[in-house]
């Protein structure tokens, strides 16, 4: 496995988040790779226990997020796209961080087989770029309705550069819940960021 650190939209190296590229073995039959190795992850990234695997399917133009959970149910996520292509983002919601309110965006797809580690303290979301996409991710804590929060996907203070021009005139498809997400200023006001 190859691990790379990422830079935010402002060019700052962000701590904790990384992209994981597995070693893929291909031949005329197809391919094989380890999508998860506990020892490698704990040794090279951080020690975490994952409690659940999630799997979603989304149509082209669907935006999911920006989701996160506040303590005591904050979640780390290990995200991969196993069919199609997505633009995956993570937003730093840790007030004490030098990269607070900055974000990273990367394409995950079924060709590069990369995975994004989104640790606790970050919001997460994605835009489906292909006709459809299947996303699978591990989480470190179970879903909790009272702890679940959502930041508005197009919050003007975050200025996330979603690649909407790749959608060929399709308008973003947002759930009712996500369309009612908070702006980052509201999250700060109500104490829904990480201190």
Q: Would you name the residues annotated as active-site residues? A: 67, 137
Distances 188 to 67, 92, 101, 122, 194 between C-alpha atoms, Å: 15, 13, 11, 14, 9
Any idea what DSSP says for residue 112?
T
Contacts of 178 (CB under 8 A, 6+ apart): 63, 64, 65, 150, 152, 153
* Strand 173-174, strand 103-109: pairing: unpaired
Rounded-to-5 percentages of helix, strand, coil across the chain: 10, 45, 45
Strand partners, 141: none
Q: Which residue has the tokens 């790779």?
A: 33
Report how far residue 90's alpha carbon sits from residue 77's, in angstroms, rounded to the nearest whole number.
10
Report how far residue 114's alpha carbon sits from residue 96's, in angstroms, rounded to the nearest whole number.
29
């Amino acid at each position: 496995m190859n691990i790379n650190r990422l830079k935010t939209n402002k060019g700052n190296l962000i701590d904790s988040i990384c992209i994981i590229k597995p070693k893929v073995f291909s031949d005329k039959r197809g391919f094989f790779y380890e999508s998860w190795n506990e020892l490698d992850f704990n040794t090279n990234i951080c020690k975490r226990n994952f409690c659940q695997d999630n799997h979603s399917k989304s149509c082209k133009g669907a935006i999911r997020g920006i989701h996160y959970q506040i303590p005591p149910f904050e979640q780390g996520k290990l995200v991969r796209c196993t069919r199609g292509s997505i633009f995956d983002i993570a937003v730093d919601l840790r007030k004490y961080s030098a990269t607070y309110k900055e974000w990273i965006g990367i394409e995950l797809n079924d060709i590069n087989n990369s995975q994004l580690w989104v640790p606790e303290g970050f919001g997460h979301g994605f835009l489906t770029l292909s006709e459809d996409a299947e996303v699978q991710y591990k989480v470190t804590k179970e879903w909790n309705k009272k702890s679940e929060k959502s930041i508005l996907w197009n919050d003007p203070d975050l200025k996330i550069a979603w690649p909407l021009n790749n959608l060929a005139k399709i308008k973003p498809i947002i759930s009712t819940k996500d369309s009612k997400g908070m702006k980052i200023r509201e999250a700060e006001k109500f104490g829904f960021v990480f201190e």
